[in-house]
């Protein structure tokens, strides 16, 4: 329905309509952006609360202050001639002053907001045990270094799953009741198992038994020198993880999306379009895909969120050097700043994902554009 | 009652529902049996037990039933304990002390060599330590002297493959093979050494220096298969963990799913009924909570506070209450609120809470049950995920912890497939059972989906 309603004002009003719908999309995006920012704020604050119940956050901040002052004192040429004892005294004195300056002697409520501010600006402190590959102890660097690997794997997998599901769902909705259709319906409960679970099976089959693909990791060791070979090696290592993520979500998405398509293809306006003699492809694109896309995007969003949250374990199973495995390693080493830091980064990642899909949603959903 | 009967009749029309229901019933029966047969405390003691409980089982061997699929039969463990009368005992006075002879016989029919051979002694004496000499007799009448050792008070053990002298002797006589191969190999081994089948004997000849000396010994010829589930790297029988995994998974899945769906529904109903500020608040909270990274937060809780499965369960429920379910329920409640019978209830003066619990909530139960059943697998897998991350309950054996042990000890690389596959298949069956039942219930209770 909405499509036809839309079509009339567009012809009459021309550019002014386009402008007003742009404004609406922008306004919607802005409102969502602000809401998401507040969400992240609350989420990170909760993280701080959970972490600080054992006083861990204070430890992180005090450790950071001490490390900074130590470096300052060591690197100050004016202080080079001091005896080690005098230097230590100087450090202690400065640490005390700095802690007072930063308000570490203040009540928890005020301190918690300061830490929230630090977390939001990614001042995540220093790791206790872990190092980044470049040798830094800064949690921010450790985590940002891991981010590209995670983004590469999950970004590719999500895009692949989205388009493959869409494609299969469209085909199945055309062949409602066929053998393939029933197969997908029967297999849809398999999506209750998470990706890492299928990962273990796939590793057993393709790496352990058939020896066709690597057990895990990002590239071959030693890593190939030429760029092209490097990319090919990474690609080879991505096959199994992407297969695992696909297996864990595709049957359910295809099943539910095909059901959407079927519901929408029995609408009156689709019948009318058929009666007008429009081709199958046009009907599919304009009359079935268009109205269902917003719902599908929302649906897909939930899948992405669950994939994101599963990253720590998924990357561990595949030994993928990403953010999730950093979190897993931090748990093993009990490296508190890294654990808190990765939780904060995960909150950000979720928010960014939701925000991006919200923009797409705003562009797709006619209700946002016409302001209904 | 009538609706239950109708529902059962409907279920019969869906084969996947029947399969799902059967799996669920089997799991419940199994769990009840396990909890009665191996009580909670006993399971923990067994699973946390060390060498004292598990010493006579081989390390990392597959289950015994794989022999049905092999032409070359793998050996099973032979454990002969003199305390249980599994040895011929002769005692005779000898000078001031006495001589004790323990003679063990066993029939060896497998096509492969044992994993290892150990003897565990249990000795008590007054002053001088008794002296034992061990001899091995093969079915074809050869006699191999194993070792001469002094026994210490209490428990002691003699491990065949840790005796360098014995290994050197075997090397001289048979060639460069492990001890357990050298002792059982048929004479003149070709390319492919085979064990000699028949009755073997082991004699432990002990010279004791006082007449009150007590001695018992257990001979263990470790096999390469064990029981219905195999063993892990600590010689523990995986059967315990696989069996106990069922009640733990069911309890966690059911409690988490029930806890979240029911509270979620009630909160949605309250939000819709009071509308305005309350509804807004519920919706905003939902938006925030939906975005919280559940697994990282659970990891934090597990690392900083407690790894007890019940604490993790509580936090999971708390974080999932304001989940995406609220939006779905809200949409339905918004329709129900406008129904004439709710208006009628208001007209006769029913209070807010009465309307919520007697008029709104019951309407949504048909939708709730399939949701609840479908949610169970995700929580079962969540528990397994946490266990695989090393944040499982420190005491209880669960399926996830078996997978974690297996992966941490390199089971996929060492081709110890049974170790990963057994718990994984059980998880899969459990997950599929509930998911299949839930999906079919959804179609039964929500007829709108039925044509699809």
- The CATH code that applies to domain A139-195+248-364 is 1.10.3720
Check residue B119 and give its pLDDT: 92
Mean pLDDT of B300-313: 82
Report DSSP letters for B137-166, one per residue.
E-TTS-EEEEEEEEPPSEEEEEEGGG-HHH
Tokens representing A255? Answer: 């099943």
Helix (H, G, I), strand (E, B) or coil at A322: coil
Contact A295/B at CB under 8 A? no
Minimum Cα–Cα distance from A318: chain B residue: B407
- pLDDT of A5 over the 50 cut: no
Name every chain B residue with its beta carbon within 8 A of the beta carbon of A354: 291
Mean pLDDT of B16-38: 92
Check residue A73 and give its pLDDT: 83
Neighbours of B263 (CB within 10 A): 16
Q: What is the 3-state secondary structure (H, E, C) of A126-145?
A: ECCCCCCCCCCCEHHHHHHH
In chain B, the percentage of residues whose pLDDT exceeds 90 is 26
Mean pLDDT of A268-275: 87
- In a 13 Å sphere around the CA of A87, the CA atoms on its Cβ side amount to 16
Mean pLDDT of B124-128: 84
Is the CB of B291 less than 8 angstroms away from the CB of A188?
Answer: no
Distance (Å, whole) CA A81 – CA A93: 18
| Size of the A and B interface in Cβ pairs below 8 Å | 141
Check residue A15 and give its pLDDT: 63
Top pLDDT among B51 and A171 is at: A171
Which of B23-37, B54-68, B359-373 tops mean pLDDT? B23-37
Asked if residues B97 and B90 have their Cβ atoms less than 8 Å apart, the reply is: no
DSSP element (H, E) containing B206: strand B198-208
Asked if residues A244 and A193 have their Cβ atoms less than 8 Å apart, the reply is: no
In chain A, the percentage of residues whose pLDDT exceeds 70 is 92
Mean pLDDT of B290-302: 81
Mean pLDDT of B431-436: 90
Tokens representing B286? Answer: 């939902």
Mean pLDDT of B20-45: 92
As beta bridge partners, residue A119 has: none
Mean pLDDT of B276-291: 84
Average pLDDT, chain B: 87
Name every chain B residue with its beta carbon within 8 A of the beta carbon of A38: 288
Phi, psi angle pair for A283, to nearest 5°: -60, -45
Instruction: Tell me which of A184-198, A313-327, B6-20 is least confident.
Output: B6-20
Distance (Å, whole) CA B44 – CA A246: 38
Distance from CA of B301 to the nearest CA of A (A): 7
Check residue A281 and give its pLDDT: 83
Least Cα distance to A61 among A123, A136, A145, A15 occurs for A123
Mutate which: A50, A192, A304, A332, vs B, most B CBs within 10 A: A192
Neighbours of B343 (CB within 10 A): 10
Mean pLDDT of B114-122: 91
Of B299, B378, B389, nearest to A192 by CB-CB distance is B378
Least Cα distance to B195 among B113, B78, B138 occurs for B113
pLDDT tens, A20-65? 778 888 888 888 888 888 888 888 888 778 777 666 667 777 787 8
- pLDDT of B160 over the 50 cut: yes
Top pLDDT among B188 and A166 is at: A166
Minimum Cα–Cα distance from B289: chain A residue: A43
Contact A340/B at CB under 8 A? yes
Tokens representing B367? Answer: 């939708």
pLDDT band, residue B246 (cuts 50/70/90) = very high
Least Cα distance to B119 among B78, B157, B152, B79 occurs for B157
Instruction: Name the DSSP letter for residue A234.
Output: H
Check residue A2 and give its pLDDT: 43
Distance (Å, whole) CA B293 – CA A311: 10
- pLDDT of A107 over the 90 cut: no
Place of tokens 């470096």: A71
Asked if residues B249 and B240 have their Cβ atoms less than 8 Å apart, the reply is: no
Helix (H, G, I), strand (E, B) or coil at B204: strand
- pLDDT of B358 over the 80 cut: yes
H-type alpha helices, chain A: 2-13, 15-52, 56-75, 84-101, 108-120, 139-174, 179-187, 195-202, 227-265, 268-276, 280-282, 290-309, 311-317, 323-333, 336-364, 366-370
Distance from CA of B222 to the nearest CA of A (A): 26
**C-alpha torsion angle, residues B419, B422, B424, B425 (rounded to 10):** 160
Q: Nearest-5° angle of CA B426, CA B431, CA B433?
A: 95
Check residue A176 and give its pLDDT: 81
- pLDDT of B141 over the 70 cut: yes
Top pLDDT among A13 and B204 is at: B204
- pLDDT of A149 over the 60 cut: yes
Mean pLDDT of B293-304: 82
Report DSSP letters for B243-294, one per residue.
HHHHHHHHHHHHHHHHHHHHHHHHHHHHHHHH-HHHHHHHHHHHHHHHHS-H
Check residue B317 and give its pLDDT: 87
**C-alpha torsion angle, residues A157, A158, A163, A169 (rounded to 10):** 110
Check residue B396 and give its pLDDT: 84
In chain B, the percentage of residues whose pLDDT exceeds 70 is 98
Q: Which CA distances in Å does A268 have to A6, A77, A278, A290, B176? A: 17, 83, 14, 15, 83
Tokens representing B357? Answer: 């619990």
- pLDDT of B448 over the 80 cut: no
- pLDDT of A3 over the 60 cut: no
Phi, psi angle pair for B97, to nearest 5°: -110, -140
pLDDT tens, B380-406? 998 888 888 888 887 888 899 999 888
Tokens representing A126? Answer: 């220093």
Place of tokens 């005098």: A86
Of B296, B305, B389, nearest to A342 by CB-CB distance is B296
Name every chain B residue with its beta carbon within 8 A of the beta carbon of A339: 296, 299-300, 303
Check residue B411 and give its pLDDT: 83
- pLDDT of B10 over the 50 cut: yes
Check residue A1 and give its pLDDT: 40
Asked whether the bond before A222 is cis by omega within 30 degrees of 0, the reply is: yes
Least Cα distance to B398 among B362, B422, B433 occurs for B422
Q: What pTM was computed for the model?
A: 0.81
As beta bridge partners, residue B204 has: B102, B134
Distance (Å, whole) CA B104 – CA B215: 15
């Amino acid at each position: 329905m909405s499509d036809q309603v839309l079509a009339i004002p567009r012809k009459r009003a021309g550019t002014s309509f386009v402008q007003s719908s742009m404004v609406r999309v922008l306004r919607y995006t802005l409102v969502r952006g602000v809401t998401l920012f507040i969400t992240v704020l609350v989420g990170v604050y909760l993280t701080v609360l959970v972490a600080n119940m054992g006083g861990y956050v204070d430890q992180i901040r005090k450790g950071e202050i001490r490390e900074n002052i130590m470096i300052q004192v060591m690197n100050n040429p004016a202080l080079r001639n001091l005896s080690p004892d005098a230097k230590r005294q100087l450090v202690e004195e400065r640490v005390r002053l700095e802690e007072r300056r930063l308000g570490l002697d203040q009540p928890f409520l005020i301190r918690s907001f300061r830490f929230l501010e630090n977390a939001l600006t990614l001042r995540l402190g220093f790791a206790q045990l872990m190092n980044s590959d470049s040798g830094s102890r800064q949690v921010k660097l450790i985590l940002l270094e891991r981010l590209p690997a995670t983004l590469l794997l999950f970004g590719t997998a999500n895009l692949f799953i989205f388009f493959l599901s869409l494609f299969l769902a469209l085909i199945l909705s055309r062949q409602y009741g066929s053998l393939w259709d029933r197969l997908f319906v029967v297999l849809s409960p398999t999506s209750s198992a998470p990706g890492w679970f299928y990962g273990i099976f796939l590793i057993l089959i393709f790496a352990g038994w058939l020896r066709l693909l690597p057990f895990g990791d990002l590239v071959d060791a030693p890593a190939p020198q030429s760029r092209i070979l490097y990319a090919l090696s990474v690609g080879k290592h991505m096959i199994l993880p992407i297969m695992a993520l696909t297996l864990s979500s595709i049957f359910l998405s295809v099943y539910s999306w095909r059901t959407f398509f079927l519901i929408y293809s029995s609408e009156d306006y689709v019948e009318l379009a058929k009666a007008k003699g429009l081709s199958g492809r046009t009907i599919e694109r304009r009359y079935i895909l268009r109205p269902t896309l917003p719902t599908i995007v929302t649906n897909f969003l939930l899948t992405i969120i669950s994939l994101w949250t599963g990253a720590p374990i998924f990357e561990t199973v595949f030994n993928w050097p990403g953010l999730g495995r950093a979190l897993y390693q931090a748990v093993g080493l009990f490296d508190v700043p890294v654990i808190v830091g990765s939780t904060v980064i995960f909150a950000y990642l979720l928010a960014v994902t939701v925000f991006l899909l919200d923009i797409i949603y705003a562009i797709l959903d006619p209700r946002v554009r016409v302001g209904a | 009652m009538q609706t239950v009967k109708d529902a059962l009749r409907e279920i019969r029309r869906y084969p996947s529902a029947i399969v799902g229901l059967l799996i669920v019933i089997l799991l419940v029966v199994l769990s009840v049996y396990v909890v009665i047969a191996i009580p909670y405390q006993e399971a923990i003691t067994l699973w946390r037990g060390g060498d004292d409980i598990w010493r006579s089982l081989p390390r990392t061997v597959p289950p015994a039933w794989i022999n049905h699929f092999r032409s070359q039969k793998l050996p099973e463990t032979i454990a002969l304990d003199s305390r249980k009368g599994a040895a011929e005992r002769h005692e005779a006075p000898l000078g001031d002390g006495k001589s004790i002879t323990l003679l063990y016989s066993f029939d060896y029919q497998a096509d492969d060599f044992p994993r290892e051979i150990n003897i565990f002694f249990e000795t008590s004496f007054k002053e001088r330590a008794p002296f034992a000499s061990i001899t091995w007799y093969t079915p074809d009448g050869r006699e191999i002297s194993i070792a001469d050792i002094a026994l210490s008070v209490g428990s002691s053990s003699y491990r065949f493959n840790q005796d360098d002298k014995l290994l050197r002797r075997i090397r001289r006589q048979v060639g460069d093979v492990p001890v357990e191969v050298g002792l059982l190999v048929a004479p003149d081994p070709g390319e492919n050494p085979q064990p000699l089948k028949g009755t073997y004997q082991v004699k432990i000849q002990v010279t004791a220096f006082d007449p009150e000396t007590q001695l018992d010994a257990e001979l263990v010829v470790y096999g390469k298969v064990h029981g219905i589930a195999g063993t892990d790297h600590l010689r523990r029988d995986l059967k315990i963990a696989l069996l106990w995994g069922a009640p733990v998974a069911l309890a966690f899945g059911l409690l988490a799913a029930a806890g979240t769906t029911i509270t979620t529904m009630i909160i949605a109903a309250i939000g819709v009924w009071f509308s305005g500020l309350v509804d807004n608040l519920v919706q905003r909270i939902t938006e925030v909570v939906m975005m919280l990274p559940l697994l990282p937060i659970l990891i934090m809780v597990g690392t900083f506070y407690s790894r007890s499965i019940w604490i993790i369960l509580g936090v999971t429920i708390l974080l999932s209450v304001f989940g995406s379910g609220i939006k779905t329920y809200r949409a339905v409640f918004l329709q129900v609120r406008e129904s004439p019978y709710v208006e009628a209830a208001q007209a006769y003066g029913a209070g807010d809470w009465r309307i919520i619990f007697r008029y709104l909530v019951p309407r949504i139960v048909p939708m709730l049950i399939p949701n609840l059943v479908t949610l169970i697998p995700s929580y079962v897998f969540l528990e397994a995920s946490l266990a695989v991350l090393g944040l499982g309950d420190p005491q209880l054996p669960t399926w996830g912890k078996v997978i974690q042990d297996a992966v941490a000890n390199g089971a996929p690389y060492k081709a110890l497939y049974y170790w990963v596959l057994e718990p994984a298949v059980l998880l899969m069956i459990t997950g599929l059972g509930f998911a299949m039942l839930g999906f079919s219930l959804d179609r039964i209770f929500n007829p709108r989906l039925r044509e699809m």
